[in-house]
Amino acid sequence: MSTETETPATETQAPEAPKATSTGTSETRAHPSAGTPESAPASGAEENAINQLQSDIGRFRDLALRTQADFENYRKRAAREKEDAVRFANFAVFERLIPILDNFELGLSAARTAEGDGAKPIVEGMEMVRRQLIDFLSQHGVETIDAEGKPFDPNLHEAVSQEPSTSVPEGSVTRQIRKGYRLKDRLLRPSMVIVSGGPAS
């Protein structure tokens, strides 16, 4: 008697039906790739506020640049003024010392014309003092202005008269009556001069 082996039947599962919602309709899931609704455009008030903000930013940026430029100009000007103050700190002192030197040189000229051997030591002593004064001024940047024979320069010379001359061209200095001085590039005192008017007609 043959024995048949029973093969258990495989149950085929049917796909689940969509779950019904409480309303009886099937639940529909959103696909991940589905897009979101676009944002609503900004209102007119918001656009005006943004434009005003951008305008303020530009204005403040310009103000900052101008302020920075003004500060840089002020810094340079302050440094230049400080440098000038150091360079010309003794300007007023030299300005008052020069007339004293003028009088000293007049006394020296008078001593040179004095008669007698007793005047010689006095002249030598005065000349030594004069050289010391000139060296002192030169060491501090004071220079004499050489005017004779040079073209008249109103920035350096002060003309007191004009005279005819055959040896000096017209418009040039024939004689210097009083020496001029300058401290570096700043005029202390102009030279007092007589200017040539050219040959007499």
Q: Tell me: the pLDDT tens digits for 88-137?
A: 788 888 999 999 999 999 998 888 887 666 778 888 899 999 999 999 99
pLDDT category at 28 given cuts 50, 70, 90 is: very low
Q: What percent of the chain has pLDDT over 90?
A: 42
pLDDT of 142:
93
**SS3 assignment for the chain:** CCCCCCCCCCCCCCCCCCCECCCCCECCCCCCCCCCCCCCCCCHHHHHHHHHHHHHHHHHHHHHHHHHHHHHHHHHHHHHHHHHHHHCCCHHHHHHHHHHHHHHHHHHHHHHCCCCCCHHHHHHHHHHHHHHHHHHHHHCCEEEECCCCCECCCCCEEEEEEECCCCCCCCEEEEEEECEEEECCEEEECEEEEEECCCCC
| Mean pLDDT (the chain, rounded) | 80
Integer Cα distance of 189 and 176 in angstroms:
13
7 has pLDDT over 50:
no
pLDDT tens figures, 160-201: 999 999 899 999 999 999 999 999 888 999 999 999 998 887
> Measured between alpha carbons, how far is residue 2 from residues 5, 65, 89 in Å?
10, 109, 138
Integer Cα distance of 168 and 150 in angstroms:
9
31 has pLDDT over 50:
no
The sign of the dihedral angle between the CA atoms of 119, 122, 128, 134 is: negative
pLDDT of 116:
67
CATH class of 147-201: mainly beta
Mean local confidence (pLDDT), 55-72: 89
> Which one is predicted more confidently, 131 or 3?
131
pLDDT of 120:
83
pLDDT of 33:
46
Domain ranges of the chain: 47-87, 91-140, 147-201
pLDDT of 110:
86
49 has pLDDT over 70:
yes
Is there a contact between 109 and 124 (Cβ–Cβ < 8 Å)?
no
